[in-house]
Structure 1
Amino acid sequence: MPGTVGRVPTPSAPVPGAPAGSSATRSGAAAAVLAHPWDSTPLGPPERWDPAVRAVVDLILASPVPMALLYGDDLVLLYNEGYAELIGARHPDALGRPAAEVFADIWHDPGTGQVVERAYRRGESFLEREAVLPVERHLAGTGEPAVFTRGHSPVRDSGGRIIGVLSVAAQTTQLTHQLQSLSDFAAALSGTLTLDDVARVTLRYAINSFDADRVSFAIDEGGNWRLVRRIRGELLDEADERLPPLWRRAPAESPSPVVATARSGIPFYTSDGQPLGETAVDRHDQKIRALATLPLRSSVIRGALAVGYQAPHTWSAAERALLAASAELIGQAAERARRFETQHGTAQLLQRSMLPEQLPDLPRLRIAARYSPGVDGNAAGGDFYDAFLLPTGALGVVLGDVAGHDVQAAARMGQVRAALRALALSDPRPDAVLAGLDRLVASLGTEAGTHELFVTVVFGVVEADREQITLASAGHPAPLIRRCPPDGEPTAEYVEVPPAAPLGLGCRPRTTTVPFPPGDTLLLFSDGVVERRWQDLAAGLDGLRAAVTGASSGDPRALCAVASGAVPGATEDDVAVLAVEHAVRPSRSASMEVPAEPTAPSRVRHWMAAQLTEWQVPEAVVGAAVLCTSELTTNALLHAGTAARVEIDLSAERLLVSVADYGTRGTVTRAQTDTLSSRGRGLGLIEELSDAWGTDPTVRGSTVWFEILIPGE
């Protein structure tokens, strides 16, 4: 019967007249049962119990499963320790009392007293596979009600007469929660795109759902294997989850159980032993005594999931079935991720190969750009940007959008970008350049037999010596300028560029010229920055202006990051941003190529400290910058596994540091890699010590950067 749990220990004591087969010394509920004055109940004194009743009582007291005997017409209660925990505060007063009195509050509820009485009166057994009982929350292990499988069976004496009911309640809460967790797991896997995502979700689910001490995941990679694991108690924060998992490599014929299962496709279970003894990489692996490895069920990818415990563990049929279902879900997700990564890599390589690899490096004009694919991320898009020097010595900047998210849109984008640069090098006037592009796009539309070729673009000429910008637009969002006067607060304003139709529709562009003194920053952006479904465009434009105004500095890289995240909510469009800052004074820069070696972070720290000290950077800034750079370098080596490039740029207002890697799956020199870094927690440190930081994807890898403002005199 259900109740409220609260264990009430009873001191152990010798009990005269104990039933046969029982220990004379018991504790808890068993001692209370044996010490109870049964002679005042319908059961009578223990020495006169029917042998069949005595056998049932022995069974109840020896069982760890909650069990109770409800004896006689009054259904008097006798139960064990497990049942005492189940009924809680009703114990020990419930012993020897009629069940209808003990559970008066729920006895007449459907499925409670009536099923017990039916088992007693009619001799009908009763089984309920999922009973939600109002027991203490600690029995369930969560804040939800515990779930039990319970049964009631008639008990007969030696003469075959029904004299009571045996009630058994087996808690199945954990299995119920695991099944619910499996549903949540499937939902989480459905949102994964890459194998890194699959690994992250898999490790988090398995360690929690199976309450495991160690979980690992292996996947094939050509002739070798990639492995990643998680250990119980491993501290992970939000920054860790943003980083790729820390994969390890294993040879094709590795003896590791998870790799062996991935190769053979045969599940492997060990209940007690040292399954990782030969392949243990540290003490965590050495402690594992029970291990289950399940192959991923996929026709195009090989892999396996391993779940381990530090104590002996019997793998029940239900648990094996749950593991098999989990492995099948992982296999399906891994297969989707492998296909996505292949398609995504091709599309992004095509997209980025049509964008400039290097932007001009000028003493007074700092330039940065950022491109991010839309929600799908699986197709090439038509957004593009460019910045190049003109024959006049001025800087040409452009940002445009060719409608579409396919290879054809990317190809047209490449044509428009190349034609724009050619036209600008011949005649840099923005209106003349866009007029020429309009004729080209109209021609491309005629050639393709379509009038739906939709191209918007904004083109500007930045003349630093004259402190001005001349702009023209063809149906594109107006550029934004962040004004930073020497004696005032920063502001941001949209440039009032004369409107014109998109290219190919008879565009008649006109120009406007605006001041661009030192300290100001120009921001060009695509509509994916400000447009959100179910939101007014004006709200997006206002949000972008507010974010740019409140930015910590006018640094182009920082503003690109600010602009990309200025408007909340996901966008289905691509995002492209280009920023140009007119520096107050020329900046100083330096760079260092970092090899993929364990000693690299130390070399970076010494080089960085020496360089910044030579530039007379304040000591507080030097210390913070060196620490942050060391963390970024270490993370680049661990997670990308390739060499990296560290760049520092110092202006009067700020220090900008970036660390770029060249890939995502290289090989790190094996030498105590676990001690190299605090992993994601390093990004939390950077967030604390810097004024701004962000990540930028590139064609060959990614770049992580941070900015520290230089305190005034």
Structure 2
Amino acid sequence: MPGTVGRVPTPATHAASETDASGAANVVLGHPWAGTALGPPQGWDPGLRGVVDLILASPVPMAFTYGDDLLLLYNDGYAALIGDRHPGAVGRPAAEVFADVWAEPGVGDVIDRAYRQGESFLEKEAAFPFDRHRPGSREQAVFTRGHSPVRDSTGRIVGVLTVAAETSQVTEQLQSLSDVAAALAGTLTLDDVARVALRYLLTAFDADRVTFGVDDGAGWRTVRRVRGELLDEADERLPPLWRRSPADSPGPLIVAARSGVPQFVGDGQPLRDIAVDRHDQKVRALAAQPLRTSVLRGGLTVGYHEAHLWPAAECALLAASAELIGQAAERARRFETQHGTAQLLQRSMLPERLPDLPRLRIAARYDPGVDGNAAGGDFYDAFLLPTGELGIVLGDVAGHDVQAAARMGQVRAALRALALADPRPDAVLAGLDRLVGSLGTETGTYELFVTVVFGVVDTQRRQLTLASAGHPAPLVRRAGPDGGSVAQYLDVPPGAPLGLGCAPRTTTVPFAPGDTVLLFSDGVVERRWQSLTTGLNDLAAAVAGAPSGDPRALCAVATAAVEGATEDDVAVLAVEHALMPSRSASMEVPAEPTAPSRVRHWLTAQLADWQVPEAVIGAAVLCTSELTTNALLHAGTAARVEIDLSPERLLVSVADSGTRGTVTRARTDTLSSRGRGLGLIEQLSDAWGTDPTVRGSTVWFEILVPSG
């Protein structure tokens, strides 16, 4: 007989008596059977009466169809299966009650065969279309059903007993296991694995509380989700809130992870010793399953607020889930180790701090390629020359491996040495050409492909002298005639890449106060599906339309100017010739609960002393407080707040030394309590972004200062 979707309610067991009848039993016993072929209950055959008593007293969904008309009676469990057809189905022919599906294979035919021919029938894991609530609504229910002929005391077949065990939940759990395997295949980091695992465990096991944890050097770190916790798109993208625990923590997850033995508590207080809030205190039943991998130790837990039996099938599903999650966590740990090594190598070869000059503002940004798992050859540098001028360079060594990064380090170091001896751009690149050619001969590798653009900024003469070895031409943003801004590519002879007999030529262009020059790698503008010209035009339009010429803001604008992901590394260096010197200050922020308050007081006093408009102060203090809280919360380390004020804008940055990673932009109206701070920054600032550093990351924002 038909089933339904969802869990089968388990009715309280009761005797089939007039005084104890309830629910379906009450309807069955109160039905006017005297007017049917079954006759009044007082005259029922003892064998038939015994079957009816068994059905009405059983918590398992059961139904009985009697006689040639297959009149229907059933218990509470079966009533829940047939939904809105109850109570009208009692005493009616089954063919009428289930007229919409009776003729389909495996429905009416098997019941009729059991009655007419005395054949028992068992069907496992059958999916059945069933209109449960209203006509026209057909849902898929999966259940195991059995039909057996029922005989009276004389041995004559008088009807059919149907037992239906709903198995949709098990089927859905197995399907969800397949879905989570696919989702885990796309994870890269432990943060990714945690998000997928927690979402899956909470849904598949219909749990009240789930956790995921891994070893973390001398201790452990765990992350939790609870039923009813509101997480929107922005929260899912933010890093999970990991909790640190000591190596000897008595928590069930950590005990299971250490021992490799799963733990199951059906009813008790399994989290009494480690409870941090009411969500932990309310847990009565808990399963803790270890993750068995060769690279890390970890575990997961599933908990309920009510007592819960742990049947073998559910324990097996949990073990299978842990196996999949453990494999993904192992891959993530390997990835993070490789990623961290590659990125540390890459960034350690780049300047950790750029020159701080009164009339030149400098910023740079480096983003790894599409997977971020390999060191690359893009590099930038800015340094003072003996003449007092500023040397700037951006280059690209072909390749995405450790060898490319090593070559990049050699080229960058050689360029700086050559520039300090003779800063003429053409002479520097000619010397580099000989070096790259020599490296190719020495290693037997004649496929070294290195492009570089090198320039010298002279603020006294207000000019910029450049030479290029096969590199994209720099972009300059200048004030336009209508009060806006324009962005133009400089006419720099590209020359040949280094190592190919490069004969560079120099170009000198005006570089007046208010101008900003942008050097970039080809990963900024190249996309497989569109022409290079399109990418260059998009970059120029984005730079011209930026709110200000501030270098940090322009670096962020440049890296996002061309739509779509790039498969190459991205490096950008921007230098602004300021109209007036800026004022700057900084504060070291300890990882303490009172730190955001101290930052607010310091920033308010500093900006008031600089006579910044009150509206700007209010917005800046609010945004800085949010960023400081975010840095301390996710990185868990001390932070550094830096402010830089020019006549045009206020720039504030908050740097940490943790491993938080890039904060993702999100629309304000989709952010919840944790993400709303970032949405607030997007609303109150004119530009904001994140910059990775050698260790940790920096989040910054810019607010334009009204003139007059």
**Same structural fold, with TM-score higher than 0.5 when normalized by the shorter chain:** yes
Quickly say closer, same or farther: Cα 1:146–1:480, change in 2 above 3 A.
Answer: farther
Aligned residue-pair number: 687
Q: Which amino acid aligns with 2:27?
A: A
Structure 1 unaligned spans of 5+: 6-18, 666-676
- The yes-or-no answer on 1:571 pairing with 2:578 is no
- The yes-or-no answer on 1:641 pairing with 2:666 is no
For residues 555-595 of structure 1, give each alpha carbon's deviation from its aligned partner in whole angstroms, at most 9, with x where no partner exists: 21122122222223222221111111222222111000111
Q: Normalising by structure 2, report the TM-score.
A: 0.92
- The yes-or-no answer on 1:66 pairing with 2:61 is yes
Report the equivalent of 1:256. 251
Supply the distance in 1 between the matched residues of 2:131 and 2:251 (Cα, whole angstroms): 42
Greater shift after overlay, 193-202 or 632-641?
193-202
Q: Is the 8 A contact 1:137 1:145 kept in 2?
A: no
Supply the distance in 2 between the matched residues of 1:289 and 1:67 (Cα, whole angstroms): 32
Q: Which amino acid aligns with 1:568?
A: E
Q: Is the 8 A contact 1:149 1:169 kept in 2?
A: yes
- The yes-or-no answer on 1:319 pairing with 2:310 is no
Q: Is the 8 A contact 1:240 1:681 kept in 2?
A: no
Q: CA deviation at 1:499?
A: 2.5
SS at match of 1:134: strand
Q: CA deviation at 1:608?
A: 0.7
Report the equivalent of 1:10. none
Q: Which amino acid aligns with 1:265?
A: G
SS at match of 1:381: coil
SS at match of 2:85: coil
SS at match of 2:100: coil
Q: Is the 8 A contact 2:60 2:165 kept in 1?
A: yes
Q: CA deviation at 1:705?
A: 1.1
| Residue 381 (structure 2) aligned to one of 382, 386, 399 | 386
For residues 264-300 of structure 1, give each alpha carbon's deviation from its aligned partner in whole angstroms, at most 9, with x where no partner exists: 1111111111110111112211111111100002123
Report the equivalent of 1:11. none
| Residue 532 (structure 1) aligned to one of 502, 527, 532 | 527
Q: Which amino acid aligns with 1:272?
A: D
Report the equivalent of 1:8. none
Q: Which amino acid aligns with 1:179?
A: L
Report the equivalent of 2:292. 297
Supply the distance in 2 between the matched residues of 1:390 and 1:629 (Cα, whole angstroms): 35
Question: 1:219-368 residue pairs with structure 2 within 5 A?
Answer: 219-368=214-363
Report the equivalent of 1:9. none
- The yes-or-no answer on 1:702 pairing with 2:706 is no
For residues 31-63 of structure 1, give each alpha carbon's deviation from its aligned partner in whole angstroms, at most 9, with x where no partner exists: 322222112222211111222322322333334
Supply the distance in 1 between the matched residues of 2:348 and 2:402 (Cα, whole angstroms): 13
| Residue 426 (structure 1) aligned to one of 392, 397, 421 | 421
Supply the distance in 1 between the matched residues of 2:44 and 2:598 (Cα, whole angstroms): 84
Quickly say closer, same or farther: Cα 1:89–1:200, change in 2 above 3 A.
Answer: closer
Q: Which amino acid aligns with 1:325?
A: A
Report the equivalent of 2:490. 495
Supply the distance in 2 between the matched residues of 1:203 and 1:92 (Cα, whole angstroms): 41
Report the equivalent of 1:185. 180
Q: CA deviation at 1:144?
A: 6.3
| Residue 21 (structure 1) aligned to one of 16, 19, 33 | 16
Supply the distance in 2 between the matched residues of 1:106 and 1:379 (Cα, whole angstroms): 59
Supply the distance in 2 between the matched residues of 1:101 and 1:136 (Cα, whole angstroms): 14
Report the equivalent of 1:91. 86
Supply the distance in 2 between the matched residues of 1:702 and 1:143 (Cα, whole angstroms): 53
Q: Which amino acid aligns with 2:338?
A: Q
Q: Which amino acid aligns with 2:92?
A: R
Greater shift after overlay, 606-615 or 176-185?
176-185
Report the equivalent of 1:672. none
| Residue 686 (structure 2) aligned to one of 691, 704, 707 | 691
Structure 2 unaligned spans of 5+: 6-13, 661-671
Q: CA deviation at 1:316?
A: 2.3
Q: Is the 8 A contact 1:594 1:604 kept in 2?
A: yes
Supply the distance in 1 between the matched residues of 2:16 and 2:4 (Cα, whole angstroms): 31
Q: Which amino acid aligns with 1:698?
A: T
Greater shift after overlay, 405-414 or 546-555?
546-555
Supply the distance in 2 between the matched residues of 1:524 and 1:508 (Cα, whole angstroms): 21
Report the equivalent of 2:580. 585
Q: CA deviation at 1:435?
A: 1.7
Q: Is the 8 A contact 1:3 1:90 kept in 2?
A: no
Q: Is the 8 A contact 1:518 1:582 kept in 2?
A: yes
Q: Is the 8 A contact 1:68 1:168 kept in 2?
A: yes
- The yes-or-no answer on 1:611 pairing with 2:573 is no
Q: Which amino acid aligns with 2:659?
A: T
Supply the distance in 1 between the matched residues of 2:626 and 2:51 (Cα, whole angstroms): 66
Q: CA deviation at 1:307?
A: 1.0
Q: Is the 8 A contact 1:118 1:124 kept in 2?
A: yes
Quickly say closer, same or farther: Cα 1:53–1:620, change in 2 above 3 A.
Answer: farther
Greater shift after overlay, 471-480 or 75-84?
75-84
Q: CA deviation at 1:339?
A: 1.6
SS at match of 2:300: strand
Supply the distance in 2 between the matched residues of 1:463 and 1:541 (Cα, whole angstroms): 27
Supply the distance in 1 between the matched residues of 2:179 and 2:142 (Cα, whole angstroms): 19
Report the equivalent of 2:45. 50
SS at match of 1:200: helix
- The yes-or-no answer on 1:549 pairing with 2:544 is yes
SS at match of 1:621: helix
Report the equivalent of 2:665. none
Supply the distance in 1 between the matched residues of 2:255 and 2:417 (Cα, whole angstroms): 58
Report the equivalent of 1:401. 396
Supply the distance in 1 between the matched residues of 2:319 and 2:100 (Cα, whole angstroms): 43
Q: Which amino acid aligns with 2:583?
A: R
Identical residues among aligned pairs (%): 79
- The yes-or-no answer on 1:374 pairing with 2:372 is no
Supply the distance in 1 between the matched residues of 2:85 and 2:151 (Cα, whole angstroms): 27
Q: CA deviation at 1:483?
A: 2.6
Report the equivalent of 1:561. 556
Quickly say closer, same or farther: Cα 1:294–1:406, change in 2 above 3 A.
Answer: same
Supply the distance in 2 between the matched residues of 1:514 and 1:539 (Cα, whole angstroms): 25
Quickly say closer, same or farther: Cα 1:109–1:480, change in 2 above 3 A.
Answer: same
Quickly say closer, same or farther: Cα 1:138–1:252, change in 2 above 3 A.
Answer: farther
Q: CA deviation at 1:26?
A: 4.1
Supply the distance in 1 between the matched residues of 2:229 and 2:579 (Cα, whole angstroms): 47
Supply the distance in 1 between the matched residues of 2:30 and 2:386 (Cα, whole angstroms): 105
Q: Is the 8 A contact 2:291 2:298 kept in 1?
A: yes
Greater shift after overlay, 435-444 or 489-498?
489-498
Q: CA deviation at 1:634?
A: 1.6
Q: CA deviation at 1:96?
A: 1.8
Q: Normalising by structure 1, report the TM-score.
A: 0.91
For residues 352-408 of structure 1, give each alpha carbon's deviation from its aligned partner in whole angstroms, at most 9, with x where no partner exists: 111001101111211111111112322211110001112232221111110111111
Q: CA deviation at 1:519?
A: 2.5
SS at match of 1:296: strand
Quickly say closer, same or farther: Cα 1:48–1:214, change in 2 above 3 A.
Answer: same
Supply the distance in 2 between the matched residues of 1:20 and 1:209 (Cα, whole angstroms): 35
CA RMSD of aligned residues (A): 2.4
For residues 611-644 of structure 1, give each alpha carbon's deviation from its aligned partner in whole angstroms, at most 9, with x where no partner exists: 1111111212211211211121122122211111
Q: CA deviation at 1:110?
A: 1.8
- The yes-or-no answer on 1:651 pairing with 2:646 is yes
Q: CA deviation at 1:487?
A: 4.4
